[in-house]
Amino acid sequence: MLKCTGIGRAVFPCPGFAVISQHQGGRSMPTIYTQARRHLRITRKLKLGILHKAFITLAIIGVVLYTMLFTTTPLVHDYFHELRHNLMLIPCH
């Protein structure tokens, strides 16, 4: 089986390639549950260093904070507009 090398020391089967091969071979597409199980299996085998984990955690928090409090996309901005103004240090228009 083909191996994908990912972040850090991770070495795991390449699910995307497997899906394409199955599909091209005429077999049925895997369900969302099959995919979820595969990803869980991959995640369990994934070994990341503390620095990587801390960086990924901070990045996720950063994305959530930016989306809620800093983006100028009208739909999101309008929903959180009052919240932004009531948090003292969130710049708005």
Measure the CA–CA gap between 1 and 18, rounded to whole angstroms.
9
Measure the CA–CA gap between 50 and 57, rounded to whole angstroms.
10
- What token pair was written down for 45? 């085998």
Nearer to another protein, 32 or 88 (CB): 88
**Residue 66 binds to another protein (criterion: CB under 8 A):** yes
Question: Which residue among 10, 19, 42, 90 contacts another protein (CB under 8 A)?
Answer: 90
Measure the CA–CA gap between 72 and 48, rounded to whole angstroms.
34
Q: Which amino acid is at 63?
A: V
* Span from 6-14, 16-24, 26-34, 60-68 in contact with another protein (CB under 8 A): 60-68
Residues forming the site for another protein (CB under 8 A):
44, 50, 53-54, 57-58, 60-62, 64-66, 68-70, 72, 78-93
